[in-house]
């Protein structure tokens, strides 16, 4: 079957690109013609117009660095992702919908209220799959809302389109309540992020492009301004290698060969689990706190919620790292979790509309 995937494959974010790669690869290995619907709002392109309109003027160097990093990401996309023609807006998707038997939205925070309301600088329910013919089966795989309650203004818009999904699964346990609050009437599943579906071996092909990584260090992958913690972590654990600014294969290698990882990234945590790297996961604060359930959902499945810290504390981090992890047990639990995702995909491929 032909399967078009709508996700954040275009984002300059390692986890976003790798979850897109993982879902497409899993479906193609099953023998299906899976591809990325290359929807990227035109206002997300790196150019002078968006530099001004997206209010990046106070941060020109950051914008230039991101544009340069995007070129590295594009090398990965060209090599590993099959893409449709480019779509710059929901209007283009509606006027010339991509051919497919099934549309899949997800994973990642494709149903975040900010994406819904401002993804194109205006409300645009593209990731709710409001395009294409009535004969196309529509599913959400491990979609994330990025919050535990939807703002009312965005909820009023989302309620108009949530019923477009014939089958819907969420990544976080709180996503069930959010979907129901938006009026979804069908059965809901909680399934793993696509990066977990096929296990660590799914990335062997990517590793072959990178060689061996450095060893004997503490890796940190700290987003949302948390990189200021690096000097403290280095004081506590010795040599630190902050991750970022590198190619996608090199980012994976840095995690695979690290002695330990300190991160506030969900996907950083996933790859620590897959590659058997001791880790500490830091929670978000402030407006980003709505994203914390993804850590609890994931780590509760493998019995490692005790490796979550609400804020960095060297003494507590050292105590966590002193505890051994039974990786055999983790692998078994991760495989069971992955099976739940694979079972959902079987229903999806059978186009079973469960209401």
Q: Which domains does the chain have, with CATH numbers?
A: 2-198+336-349 (3.40.50), 200-324 (3.40.50.2000)
Q: Which of 10-19, 49-58, 298-307 has the lowest mean pLDDT?
A: 49-58
Q: Which of 41-45, 276-280, 282-286 has the lowest mean pLDDT?
A: 41-45
With the C-alpha atoms ordered 285, 291, 293, 295, is the resulting torsion angle positive or negative?
A: negative
Q: What is the pLDDT of residue 287?
A: 65
Confidence of residue 284 (pLDDT cuts 50, 70, 90): confident
When pLDDT is averaged across residues 231-239 and rounded to a whole number, the result is 95
Confidence of residue 168 (pLDDT cuts 50, 70, 90): very high
Alpha-carbon span 126 to 86, nearest angstrom = 14
When pLDDT is averaged across residues 312-320 and rounded to a whole number, the result is 97
Name the CA dihedral angle for 168, 352, 16, 205, rounded to a multiple of 10 degrees: 160
Per-residue pLDDT of 188-224, as tens digits, reads: 999 999 999 989 999 998 986 656 666 778 999 999 8
List the Cα angle 47/52/58 in 5-degree steps.
Answer: 110
Confidence of residue 54 (pLDDT cuts 50, 70, 90): low
Name which residue leads in pLDDT, 336 or 61.
Answer: 336
Q: What is the pLDDT of residue 65?
A: 80
Q: What is the pLDDT of residue 346?
A: 96
Per-residue pLDDT of 85-126, as tens digits, reads: 999 999 999 999 999 999 999 999 999 999 999 999 999 999
* Whether residue 325 has pLDDT greater than 60: yes
What are the residues whose beta carbons fall under 8 Å from the beta carbon of 83, sequence distance 6 or more? 9, 35, 36, 37, 38, 77
Among candidates 39, 154, 155, which has minimal Cα distance to 94? 39
* Whether residue 355 has pLDDT greater than 70: no
Confidence of residue 42 (pLDDT cuts 50, 70, 90): confident
Q: What is the pLDDT of residue 198?
A: 85
Alpha-carbon span 64 to 157, nearest angstrom = 34
Q: What is the pLDDT of residue 289?
A: 73
Q: What is the pLDDT of residue 351?
A: 84
Average pLDDT across the chain, whole number: 92
When pLDDT is averaged across residues 153-181 and rounded to a whole number, the result is 97
Alpha-carbon span 189 to 341, nearest angstrom = 9
Q: What is the pTM of this model?
A: 0.93
What share of the chain has pLDDT > 70, as a percent? 91
List the beta bridge partners of residue 86: 38
Q: What is the pLDDT of residue 326?
A: 98
Bridge-based pairing state of the strands 137-143 and 188-190: unpaired
């Amino acid at each position: 079957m032909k399967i078009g995937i709508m996700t954040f494959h275009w984002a300059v974010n390692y986890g976003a690109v790798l979850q897109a790669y993982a879902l497409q690869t899993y479906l193609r290995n099953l023998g299906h013609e899976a591809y990325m619907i290359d929807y990227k709002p035109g206002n997300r392109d790196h150019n002078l117009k968006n530099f001004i309109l997206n209010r990046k003027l106070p941060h020109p160097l950051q914008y230039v660095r991101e544009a340069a990093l995007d070129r590295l990401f594009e090398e990965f996309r060209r090599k590993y992702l099959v893409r449709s023609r480019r779509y710059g807006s929901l209007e283009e998707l509606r006027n010339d919908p991509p051919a497919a038997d099934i549309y899949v939205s997800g994973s990642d925070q494709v149903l975040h209220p900010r994406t819904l309301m401002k993804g194109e600088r205006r409300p645009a329910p593209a990731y709710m799959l409001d395009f294409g013919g009535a004969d196309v089966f529509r599913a959400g795989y491990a979609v994330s809302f990025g919050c535990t309650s939807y703002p009312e203004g965005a909820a009023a818009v989302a309620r108009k389109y949530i019923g477009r999904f014939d089958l819907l699964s969420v990544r976080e346990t709180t996503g069930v309540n959010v979907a129901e609050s938006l009026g979804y009437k069908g059965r809901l599943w909680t399934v793993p992020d696509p990066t977990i579906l096929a296990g660590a071996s799914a990335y062997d092909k990517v590793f072959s492009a990178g060689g061996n990584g450095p060893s004997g260090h503490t890796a940190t992958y700290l987003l949302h301004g948390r990189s200021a913690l690096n000097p403290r972590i280095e004081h506590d654990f010795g040599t630190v290698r902050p991750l970022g600014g590198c190619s996608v294969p090199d980012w994976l290698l840095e995690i695979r060969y690290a002695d330990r990882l300190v991160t506030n990234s969900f996907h950083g945590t996933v790859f620590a689990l897959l590659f058997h790297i001791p880790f500490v996961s830091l929670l978000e604060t402030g407006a980003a706190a709505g994203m914390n359930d993804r850590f609890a959902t994931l780590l509760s499945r493998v019995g490692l919620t005790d490796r979550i810290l609400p804020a960095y504390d060297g003494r507590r981090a050292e105590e966590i790292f002193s505890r051994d992890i039974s990786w055999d047990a983790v692998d078994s639990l991760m495989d069971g979790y992955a099976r739940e995702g694979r079972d959902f995909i079987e229903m999806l491929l059978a186009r079973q509309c469960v209401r």
